[in-house]
Amino acid sequence: MNSNKNSSRGRQQGKKKPQSTFTRKFDNKKKFSKARVTPSKAPSKQTTSNAEVDGIRLNKYIANSGVCSRREADVFIAAGSAMVNGKVITEMGYKVKLSDEVRFDGSLISPEKKRYVLLNKPKNFITTMEDDRGRKTVMELVGNASKERIYPVGRLDRNTTGLLLFTNDGELAKKLTHPKHNIQKIYHASLDKKLTNADLNKIAEGFILDEKRVIVDEVSYILNQPKSEVGVKIHSGRNRIVRRIFEHFNYKVVKLDRVIFAGLTKKDLPRGHWRHLTEMEVNNLKML
């Protein structure tokens, strides 16, 4: 599978009031483009040779983590900023193994280069690292995207298509999935029948689902499409939330496609293909 070779190096570092958008429709031609929203991982087999057996110098480990240069790392080590397996290390030339727990100023660091891969997920792939029932997983689609072991950020169910991010940057992954950060997603839902204006209004105003209030940031018909085609902007991370919203009002979601995730779009990314994020995209994610 081909991919653009744009890669980047990461550095380890209120609910909104629902909007009434009944008169404004999403522009289907632009695929929601106007709605933009502005622990250490186990080493891969390729990196576990001499470094795992003999260890690498602590200053190199810190530098490879993107914290600072080797020379600067020596200064920080002497100042007591580095800990290995819970012990402060000030010895110059101290060697660590890739299996050691290394902390810099209290934060866990890893020497792996940070990778950020965006996939346009097709149907019939489950979002998991492996499956004991032999079903196809999203990892099969990004298997050659990185020599580092990357993980999916959040989930898309088997029949949902669209944007899915993978990374080995645990800090960013946690940020993008934690409810307090209100990361927005936009979905294109195809329903089994036309959505009535009354139900559209109820969804936009918010309602109770399983004893919890559902807040939708925006919901509208798709421009120049039947009223069974609906765009939904939402920041909730509840399981299968978009499908459950429509099921609550007795509609079945025939197709569901995530077209925007945290400001990332599907532009120039065909279904089933992946690409590395640009440096600007990574920086934007870290600023959310």
Separation between Cα atoms, residue 166 and residue 117, nearest integer Å: 5
- Quick check: 77 and 59 in contact, CB under 8 A? yes
132 is catalytic: no
**CA 202/CA 222 separation, integer angstroms:** 18
- Give the integer Cα–Cα distance in Å for 218 and 203: 9
Separation of alpha carbons 1 and 279, rounded Å: 22
Please enumerate in sequence order all residues whose Cβ is within 8 A of that of 134, keeping only pairs 6 or more positions apart, or say none.
Answer: none
Query: H/E element holding 197?
Result: helix 197-205
Burial of 108 (0-12, 13-18, 19+ CB in 10 A): middle
Query: How many residues does the structure list for the chain?
Result: 288
> Is 99 within 8 Å of 56 (Cβ atoms)?
no
| Cα→Cα distances 104→64, 73, 167, Å | 13, 10, 21
Please give the structure tokens belonging to residue 223.
């421009």
Q: Quote the CA–CA distance of 235 and 180 in Å, as a whole number.
A: 10
DSSP secondary structure code for residue 65 in this structure = T
Contact of 227 with 160, CB cutoff 8 Å: no
Q: Which of 157, 199, 210, 268 is catalytic?
A: 157
Candidates 252, 101, 238; CA nearest to 179 is 238
| Catalytically active residues, by annotation | 157
